[in-house]
C-alpha cells in the first residue's frame, strides 16, 4: 500500500492512496470530541452528496459510497494539471477555451441548483483538455439567483487576483458561455448588484 499526503488544508488532509484520493476531515481539538465528530460527519456527508450530484452533471470525481468511514471521502484521482498553477502558462487561445468550459460547467451546476461555494482555479483540474471541478466542501443547494450570483462573483474575484494579466478577457469568455443557460440574464443583473455592494462596503 502506498500512501502520500498531497495537500493539507485547514479542514482536510488529501491523501493519494493506491491511485485513489482520500479526503480526510481532520479533528479539531478545540471542539468537544462528540460535537467535533458530529460536525465532521455532517460536512463529509454533505460534501460527498454534492460531489456525487455534480459528477452526474459535469466532470467531477465521483465519490465511492462508504458506510463506515464517516470522516473520509474516497474518490478517483484526477491525474491532471491544477488550473491555478498552469492556466497562465497556456496560450491565450487555450486559456479562453478553458474559460468557456468553466462557464459552461458552472452554468450546468447552477441549473441544477448546485452552488459550488469556492470557485477558484485551485479547485479545478485540467485533464485531457477537460476541466474537472473538485472541492464541494463549501457547496450547498439553492435555487436563489443571489447565491448563484455570489458564486460567480467569487470566481470573478479569483480570476482577478490570481490570473490578473488576462482576467478581463477570460471573464468575458466565462460570461459568454454561461449566458447560454437558463436565467443567466437575471443572475448577471444580480451579480452587478453584488459587485456594487462590495464597492460600497468600507
Ligand atoms: N480527486 C482529486 N484528484 C486530484 N487532486 C485532488 C483531488 N482532490 C483534491 N486534490 C488536490 O488536493 C487539493 C486540496 O483538495 P480540496 O478538495 O480542494 O481540499 P481543500 O478543502 O483543503 O481545499 C486540491 O487543490 C488538489 O490539488
Ligand atoms: Mg480546495
Ligand 1 binding pocket, CB closer than 6 Å: 6-7, 9, 11-12, 14, 21, 23, 61, 75, 77-78, 82, 122-123, 125, 134-135, 137
Distance separating the N- and C-terminal Cα atoms of the chain: 53
Please, are residues 23 and 12 in contact by the beta-carbon 8 Å criterion? yes
Q: At a CB cut-off of 8 Å and minimum separation 6, what does 100 contact?
A: 173, 174, 176, 177
CATH 1.10.510.10 residue ranges of the chain are: 81-200
Q: Which CATH architecture has domain 3-76?
A: 2-Layer Sandwich (3.30)
Ligand nearest 158 Cα, by number?
2
Tell me the CATH number of domain 81-200, given options 2.30.40.10, 1.10.510.10, 3.30.360.10, 3.40.50.150. Answer: 1.10.510.10
Please write the tens of the pLDDT for every residue from 173-194: 999 999 999 999 999 999 999 9
Alpha helices in the chain (DSSP H): 33-55, 83-86, 92-111, 145-162, 167-178, 184-200
Q: Indicate whether 1 pLDDT > 80.
A: no
Residue 33 CA to ligand 2 centre (angstroms): 25
Residue 7 CA to ligand 2 center (angstroms) comes to 9
Compute φ and ψ for 3, nearest 5 degrees: -135, 135
**Confidence (pLDDT) at 202:** 55
Catalytic residues: 118
pLDDT for 166 equals: 95
For 17-32, what is the mean pLDDT? 95
Q: What is the pLDDT of residue 62?
A: 98
Residue 84 to residue 93: CA distance in whole angstroms: 17
Strand 114-115 versus strand 20-25 pairing type: unpaired
pLDDT at 68 over 70: no
List residues, by chain if needed, whose CB lies under 5 Å from ion ligand 2: 123, 135
Cα separation of 37 and 73, whole Å? 15
pLDDT tens-digit map of 118-175 = 999 999 999 999 999 999 999 999 999 999 999 999 999 999 999 889 999 999 999 9
Q: Where in the chain is the domain with CATH 3.30.200.20?
A: 3-76
Average pLDDT of the residues of the chain: 95
Q: Which has the higher per-residue pLDDT, 60 or 201?
A: 60
| Cα of 178 from ligand 2 centre, angstroms | 22
Amino acid at each position: 500500500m502506498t500512501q502520500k499526503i498531497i495537500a493539507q488544508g485547514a479542514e482536510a488532509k488529501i491523501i493519494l492512496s493506491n491511485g485513489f484520493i482520500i479526503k480526510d476531515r481532520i479533528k479539531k481539538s478545540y471542539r468537544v470530541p462528540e460535537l467535533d465528530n458530529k460536525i465532521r460527519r455532517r460536512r463529509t456527508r454533505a460534501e460527498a452528496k454534492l460531489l456525487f450530484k455534480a459528477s452526474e452533471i459535469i466532470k467531477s470525481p465521483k465519490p465511492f459510497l462508504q458506510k463506515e468511514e464517516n470522516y473520509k471521502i474516497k474518490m478517483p484521482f484526477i491525474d491532471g494539471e491544477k488550473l491555478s498553477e498552469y492556466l497562465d502558462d497556456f496560450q491565450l487561445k487555450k486559456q479562453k477555451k478553458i474559460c468557456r468550459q468553466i462557464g459552461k460547467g458552472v452554468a450546468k451546476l447552477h441549473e441544477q441548483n448546485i452552488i459550488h461555494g469556492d470557485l477558484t482555479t485551485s479547485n479545478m483540474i485540467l485533464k485531457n483538455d477537460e476541466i474537472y471541478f473538485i472541492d464541494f466542501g463549501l457547496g450547498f443547494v439553492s435555487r436563489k439567483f443571489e447565491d448563484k450570483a455570489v458564486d460567480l462573483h467569487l470566481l470573478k474575484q479569483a480570476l482577478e487576483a490570481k490570473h490578473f494579466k488576462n482576467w478581463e478577457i477570460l471573464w468575458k469568455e466565462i460570461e459568454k458561455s454561461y449566458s447560454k443557460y437558463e436565467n443567466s440574464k437575471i443572475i448577471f443583473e444580480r451579480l452587478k448588484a453584488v459587485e456594487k455592494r462590495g464597492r460600497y462596503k468600507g
